Chains A and B, each alone.
Chain A
Amino acid sequence: MIQLMLFRRTFVRLTMVVGLGLLSTTAAAQDLSIAAASDLQAVFPVVAERFERETGKKVGLTFGSSGNFFSQIQHGAPFDLFFSADHDYAVRLEASGLAERGSLYRYAVGRIVLWTRNDSGIDVRRGLSVLVDPRVKRVAIANPEHAPYGRAAVAALQREKLYEAVRPKFVFGESVSQAAQFIQSGNSEAGIIALSLALGPALRANGSYSEVPAGSHPPIEQSAVITSASRHKDVARQFLSFLKQPEISRMMQDFGFTIPSNP
């Protein structure tokens, strides 16, 4: 009998919680939902915060791999803006009608660097060839299947004829920031990541990098689009304009991005 009473009470309580939960609105009201390539992990939170302060509009940031976002948007993911690290994804979305015609904006050109922790004993100034060193057991890069930074890393290694030697040591991050995290946590001795991440506060403090020559891989052209399904296209446009402001441009450049000229 006691069990029955306990059960009844628990059930009533649960029902109340469920009822309340269902009544409350699900969203923390957002004015803008942005899908951002993970190489923007270091710089975009600051940009978004600035935007919020100046315009009063709330921004929700989701970082991840551009390839994942591309497929999610195809399945109806409700992002307003997509900052892809790969120009190609943006073009395809525009072509298929999932992104607003004419909204494509080339917002940056990215750079890859070789990065390692300060205490790894690996000298990155020697360039990519240091990856062949037996002390380097694991090399972290973004997954080349869907991450442009991963593809660039592979291309650079192939250019220097190091690919076959380094390939068995690869550890793939689902995004370039996860690759960076592998190195930062000590799970990989070194890796090839985005310059913007290396310049970020977390990595800058305890690692060192060396730039991989820009000519050794196809340029990482990063473009943004406004999704056709967006309900906040005006705010999205506002954000893009905000990005073009000289102060913000400078901020991006501080993080290693080159701002291309947009026709």
Chain B
Amino acid sequence: MSLTASVHKRLSEHFSLDIDMSAMPGITMVFGASGSGKTTLLRCLAGLVKPDSGCITIGAEVLFDSVRSRSVPVQQRHIGYVFQQLALFPHLSAEDNIGYGLAAMSPELRRQRVKAIAESLHITHLLSRLPDAISGGERQRVALARSLVTDPAFLLLDEPLSALDHATRSRIMDDLRAWNVAHRIPILYVTHSHREVFALGERVIVLDGGKITSDGTPHDVMESPAHETLAQLAGFDNFFDGTVTVRRADAGTMQCRLDGSGTEMEVPLSRGAVESPVRVAIRAGDILLATSEPRGLSARNVLPGRLVSLKREGATVIAGVEAGERFLVHVTPGACESLRLGVGDPVWLIIKTHSCRLVSL
């Protein structure tokens, strides 16, 4: 059964949520910056917030229809919702938390069901504990179990794993994925982490300013981000304004001149005419650094510059290079050492045409 929703809600003078989407069984990521409307969307689907107008259905059942003034109360929507703060009942044990939604069941049956879900999420050893005696990723598992055990028609997850470290996150994600294989229901997974999008999503919807701006597989959406906000989220670090100077339709490329510095760059072809403005986005990891002027390279953009800063961040060194514009470049610490990079050194930046993405403003 799939979930379809067209939701319109005005939240303030400047912001309204305008969504038209559908979700098939499987995991659909909802990706966007904070304030983009992700949580509001979830709350509308859950029934915690009433849209101004629209229609929400799951399979054949209508949960909300403003035209026919029908709105099923949240208690009866049979959903699973994992809140960002998890919202575990502090006065109930993990077992009672998980069994909370199974009140209509006989105690014996309830215990069995709770045990089963606890086993599949590897938390049977925690069942008698109170939430404050459970830490880290296990709390997320309890919250997840609580939502899954009721066999919901669809599942809503609001950044449930954002506070966890990478390893814990991926383990929980594996378990969720396994559960999803067995229970094919639509799962909406809200996140602002592009790593999660790639790790989990079969499909991603991008929200920006209350509207869906992209929809597709993670690869499609993230690799060629159409909008700057998405690009920023998707890990692009360099953004420049420029103007189109030459169009080479047969070669599939354009030349543009960056505002301010006048630096010329070759970028992929887009619809913009000559003299129209463009915004260029380049990942820091897509730029190569050379300590002597390179020759015979296939790359079309080779820019001379000066190294102005070096900062080590975990397994990467972020180099700041002044080449007309300020560029951020990622190099490995090993490369940094063997090239004997030092602040003030002259360097050359090597950027492939297709590493430059054109984003709408």
Residues on A lying within 8 angstroms of B by beta carbon are 1, 3-4
Contacts and interface: CB of A to CB of B under 8 A. Distances in A.
Contacts of B92: 1
B91 interface: yes
A142 to B, nearest CB: 60
B291 to A, nearest CB: 68
A94 to B, nearest CB: 67
Contacts of A1: 91-93
Contacts of A3: 91
A3 B92 CA distance: 11
Interface of B: 91-93
5 contacts: A1-B91, A1-B92, A1-B93, A3-B91, A4-B91
Classify the secondary structure of B's interface with A: loop
Nearest to B91: A1
A1 B89 CA distance: 11
A4 B92 CA distance: 11
B357 to A, nearest CB: 56
A7 to B, nearest CB: 11
A30 B136 CA distance: 71
Nearest to A2: B91
A1 B91 CA distance: 6
Contacts of B91: 1, 3-4
B45 to A, nearest CB: 32
Contacts of A4: 91
Contacts of B93: 1
B92 to A, nearest CB: 7
A214 B125 CA distance: 95
A130 B91 CA distance: 74
B61 to A, nearest CB: 35
Nearest to B96: A1
A4 B91 CA distance: 9
A1 B94 CA distance: 13
Nearest to A3: B91
Nearest to A4: B91
A253 B93 CA distance: 80
Nearest to B92: A1
A3 B93 CA distance: 14
A3 B90 CA distance: 12
| Minimum-distance CB pairs A-B, first 5 | A1-B91, A3-B91, A1-B92, A4-B91, A1-B93
A1 B128 CA distance: 12
A3 B91 CA distance: 9
A256 B91 CA distance: 72
B221 to A, nearest CB: 47
B206 to A, nearest CB: 44
B19 to A, nearest CB: 41
Nearest to A1: B91
A95 to B, nearest CB: 67
A6 B352 CA distance: 71
A16 B93 CA distance: 31
B89 to A, nearest CB: 10
Nearest to B93: A1
B335 to A, nearest CB: 59
A215 B40 CA distance: 90
Nearest to B130: A1
A6 to B, nearest CB: 12
